[in-house]
A and B are shown apart, each in its own frame.
Chain A
Amino acid sequence: METFKKLKPYYWPYKKYFFYSIAFLLLVTAITVVYPMILQVTIDEVVLKGKYHWIPYLTIGFILVMSVKGVATYINQYSGDLFGINSVYKMRNALYEKLQYLPFKYYDNAKTGDLMSRLTADVEGFRFFLSFGFSELLRFLILIVISVAVMFYYSVPLTVVTLITLPFLALVVYKFDRAVHPAFRGIRESFGKLNTKVQESISGINTVKSLSKESFEISRFNDSNGDYKENYLFTSKIWAKYFPLMELLGNISVILLLAYGGSLVMNGSLKPGELVAFYSLVWYIIWPIVNLGFVINQFSQAKASGERLIEVLEAESDSGENPALNNYERLKGDVEFKNVWLCYDEDSKDALQDISFKAIPGKVIGLIGSTGSGKTSLTQLMTKFYDPSSGEVLIDGKSVTHYSLGTLRKNVGFVLQESFLFSTTIKENISYGRPEATMEQVIDAAKRAQAHEFILELPNGYETILGERGMGLSGGQKQRIAIARAICIDPSILILDDATSAVDMETEVNIQKALKEVMQGRTTFIIAHRISSLKHADEILVLENGRIVERGKHEELIDNNGPYHRIYDIQFKDQKTVLTSNNR
């Protein structure tokens, strides 16, 4: 119940729909029981007692009552739906908002697939329960109670005899539910595996074909395909075992009804019409019981779904942004790190250790070091994607904690390692950080990122849609658009995190030349593996295991004979050999 209490803000505002739904549900259920009663009256009163003048009232009354029922059913169902979809609408907005503001730290440990299943399947499960689950449960209970009451009214002993199969039915239903849900899960899981298998062999088709492993792939597929089929058939066998049995138990009730009820009619203690009415009423009790397991299962699933949703909604949000800081200021781009340490979580070792440096506007800082040495972590502290565990990051002389996130992130242009582009036009992608940018500004940014030319060659130029269903771009092209996107916000600090790795050297040099011009009077950070990418930096920081092990200009570092020199050696050995063979 804790779960439902916590989620109350999302569904309780729509409580009126819920109450409508329940109120009309009562009406619907009550009327349902009227049908067998009308049948009984027709037989016993009209036909047997010859009150044929009742017929017009009876039939018109019946149609009227059923029309009322129709309207009530409509209101019951529609308001139930409205209750569910309104709540889900509100909840989805809240979840989305939450996701937008969750910190990097959260996403470091989250899997897209898992989050997606919460946002889709769990939300859907919760909606289903809100719309149907609860009212269905109520409906069953009311239906059973009223039916039993009417039956009792007609004949107590016949009711008892007829319903003697109920305990057995309940047992079968219970066993069926126990067996069928794991089986359903089996179907879902094997379908998921089959889906993954097919997806992989399509996405990896180049790899499959290049090693000519088609038949191997087909045999792996057949295993999954067969597995899915087997799971499905296993489930259908459970159905085949229990479902006819439930029906049989219901039918046994009918037989008992006929045998005992027939003899009661014969000795005159039951009217024929009542016997006929019983025949219908019995099923009003049996079907809800057969379906009860399903509804109860819905309930427990909704609860589990609710819990998973709460987990997202209650996840710890951004690292305490001070609400007083919603102003925006333009930064100059003077960056200073003072003895900064960073640790992502308690178990792991420090990602950054005692980092200190200063970067003044107009300067280019190069960062080099092997994977995991802390280059990316260092840059992400400037925009408060993470907070240092000790030490201070200062921009324009003030600690970053004194700026609003908006100020920091609008002044810092990031080109992230993985150049993620959205499913929209190239223009929208470039102006992503500044939706109000004019076409001229977009084109200007693209030109500086050396992207303008290839964009113009695309079928729709800047209006070309990218993304899964749109144009595929090469890695280098994506990187250049990502660079344009960062330039477009006119940042005071630009961070290029391995942003030109897939671009050929010629283009890279051109980009760097263009950036030099843009970044006059601003600060640039370049993370790279290739020495050629950062040799012109004003200061190069060489990182190893979170520490700065060497710093200085390219020439100084070469003379230093340290780690930088080693990297240089490896990378430039090629050039030297070429040179020697050239001289030969």
Chain B
Amino acid sequence: MYKNIKGQKVSKRFHYSVDQVIDMPFNWAQMTRLFGYLKPYQKKLLPLSILMVIITTTVRLIIPILIGVYTLDKAIGNKDTKLLTLLVCIIGFLYIISYTANIFRIRWMNELGQGVIYDIRKHLFTHVQSLSHRFFDQRSAGSILVRIMNDINSLQELFTNGVINSLMDTLLLMGIFAVLFSLSPSLTLAVMIILPIMFFISTSLRRNIRRSWQTVRLKQSKLNSHLNESIQGIRVTQSFTQEKENMSFFEGVNYENFESWRVASQKNAVFRPLVEVTNAVGTSVLIWYGAHLIQNETITIGVFVSFAFYLGMFWEPISRLGQVYNQLLMGMASSERIFEFLDEKPIVSEGEKATDIGEIRGEIIFKNVSFSYDENRTALNAINFEIKAGQTAALVGHTGSGKSTIANLISRFYDTTSGEVIIDHHNIKDISLKSLRQQISVVLQDTFIFSGTIIENIRFGRPDATDEEVMEAAKSVGAHKFIEKLPNGYHTEVEERGNILSVGERQLLSFARALLANPRILILDEATASIDTETEMQIQHALKTLLNDRTAIIIAHRLSTIRDAEQIIVLEHGEILERGSHSQLMEQNGYYYRLVKAQFNMLNAG
């Protein structure tokens, strides 16, 4: 329970999970694996980028000596105009080299970084696509999305700048050390007293600050989750006049967010002053001890000035190294989440002997098939049936009786626990997944519409279909009429949750999709959702076209579909109760008969 400014309690009205590991301890094995993605670039981009970094770093190291020791002391001090001209030319030349090297450094480092990010993302996405249904059952779409997008993006900075810059910075620091030491060992040691402070600021303090920013992000995402939900649920809120109650909740969340921001920016504001004061201490030491050394004539003014320049250069590499270290720790957390997905094996895997079977006839046999989703939940128990090629079978039964499981086993979204599923005399485990699924289309109850045009959505069933073929399919299922009425016809843009289309219209689209794919086996999960009677008729009509000349398995709700099926399989608790045609089953006077009777009575008499 939190209190907001006015002291009101923020109720636990809504719950938003706050997960996300902040960072992870350093892990060598994981880092090696992560840096393995650099391999394709180790021949060209990586060494070239490093070379450019070395060039620019060297130039940065040389210039202060050239200016301090040579220009100030030797040239200006001795009033040597010639030497001054020469030095100016050399410095100019070095600047031009550094300019050129920088152009290529920026380009190549970005190419390298983006290349790696592209590869990781492609690898992960391709892998996720190959994973089985069970993987997707266990996770929300949002959590998978976060890994493919955000977690990989958080590696972007590490690979683009982090890795190579840290090299450059280490080089730079060592270079500065070497140069300073060669100029004046005692002054170097004196100035170095600020180094530990700087390292402390750059690692410890920065980590502390970063943690508070992470808290800010978490609060922010909670705030955004609530905003998003409150907009989507606004009609409910207004119907139940909960505006005021929601506001007090929001004020609480908003205040939490405010408070986390305040804490973070307070910590953050300490950072720069501390760095500057530390630098000032360093400069003071330099002036005090340096002037003393000049007085002793141990060093020249030029050396003193070079020291001043180098001292100013210290902070940058140290700060950046601290940053890279932080990136690396965050990268550990992200990469662990990425690798967790990459290590996930598809449960349904292709056997070594799996073959392409080409066009099938579509005969399906279940032989003693049992299946359970987990140990204590048996979904199917020793099921036996046979569907002849071209036949339609209707699966009837309550929710959880095993209808969908049978459908899932045929397309091999899951593997049987025991028993065999045989298609055209092949055990489906011996058929390559691709060739199997090419022959099977599943029309789901809840049809997913991809954002894009209508024509693209239908074409999803067969990406190489021509416009004419798409329209032909749409006409055959009776979708053409409503599509034509849309503002841009087939080229109307629809969105994922596109409200342009009614449930029934989506259903027709998915029929067109399936028809275009022209599968030998069709699995159909009939919708029960609200469809007005006109559309309902069209769907029934379309169904006839769709079923024509294919093997079909229908999870049926409409009595007419059930009645027309050549075979009706009545399921309960994962077992087959009855099997036969409509008239056979009605004559049996068994479960099916009672089911039909009951429904009929409900409709008519009630």
Contacts and interface: CB of A to CB of B under 8 A. Distances in A.
A85 B239 contact: no
Nearest to B528: A502
Interface in A137-175: none
A370 B255 CA distance: 47
Contact of B144 (A74, A202, A470, A502): A202
Contact of B438 (A120, A212, A570, A581): A212
Given A200-B450, A425-B15, A469-B17, A276 B308 contact: yes
A523 B348 CA distance: 54
Interface string A33-70: 00100110011001110101001101110110111011
Contacts of B262: 81-82, 85
- The binding surface of chain B is classed by DSSP as helix
B606 A536 contact: yes
B411 interface: yes
Could you say which of B107, B117, B148 has the most chain A C-beta atoms within 10 Å of its C-beta?
A: B148
A92 interface: yes
B468 interface: no
Contacts of B72: 272, 275-276
A116 interface: yes
A504 B398 CA distance: 9
Interface in B274-318: 274, 276-277, 279-281, 283-284, 287-288, 291-292, 294-295, 301, 304-305, 308
B563 A221 contact: no
Given A55-B291, A420-B235, A532-B602, A203 B141 contact: yes
A473 to B, nearest CB: 12
Contacts of B237: 100
Interface string A13-36: 000000000000000000000010
Contacts of B360: none
A226 interface: yes
Nearest to A228: B118
Contacts of A218: 125-126, 129
B405 interface: no
Contacts of A97: 243, 247
Interface residues of A, number: 162
B214 interface: no
B272 interface: yes
Interface in A536-584: 536, 567, 570-575, 577-579, 581-582, 584
Contact of B533 (A58, A195, A571): A571
A236 B107 contact: yes
A211 interface: yes
B77 to A, nearest CB: 8
Contact of A47 (B230, B304, B514): B304
A210 interface: yes
B21 interface: no
B79 interface: yes
Nearest to B503: A501
A58 B292 CA distance: 13
A275 B536 CA distance: 88
Interface string B168-212: 000000000000000000000000000000000000000000000
Given A226-B118, A409-B241, A423-B225, A85 B232 contact: no
A202 B145 contact: yes
Interface string B238-260: 11111101110011001101100
B22 interface: no
Contacts of B71: 258, 262
Contacts of A578: 559, 563, 596, 600
A207 B273 contact: no
Interface in A159-215: 194-196, 198-214
A104 interface: yes
B411 to A, nearest CB: 7
B236 A78 contact: no
Contacts of B11: 435
B247 A112 contact: no
Contacts of A425: 15
- The binding surface of chain A is classed by DSSP as helix
Interface stretch (A248-256, A341-349, A354-362, A390-398): A248-256
Contact of A205 (B136, B225, B266): B136
B236 to A, nearest CB: 5
Contacts of B598: 506
B528 A504 contact: yes
Contacts of B165: none
Interface in A492-516: 498, 501-502, 504-506, 509
Contacts of A252: 92, 95
A89 B260 CA distance: 12
A203 B535 CA distance: 26
A578 B583 CA distance: 10
A63 B99 contact: no
Contacts of A245: 99
Contact of A104 (B79, B238, B266, B514): B238
B602 A506 contact: yes
A243 interface: yes
A330 to B, nearest CB: 14
A505 B291 contact: no
B461 interface: yes
A255 B91 contact: yes
Contacts of A335: none
A493 to B, nearest CB: 12
Contacts of A73: 269, 272-273, 276
A9 interface: no
B129 A214 contact: yes
Interface string B212-238: 000000000001110111111111111
A468 B142 contact: yes
Contacts of A198: 125, 145, 148-149
A367 to B, nearest CB: 12
A119 interface: yes
B128 A69 contact: no
Interface stretch (B23-31, B332-340, B364-372, B440-448): B440-448
Which 5 interchain pairs have the tightest Cβ spacing?
A433-B240, A212-B437, A70-B273, A210-B442, A66-B280
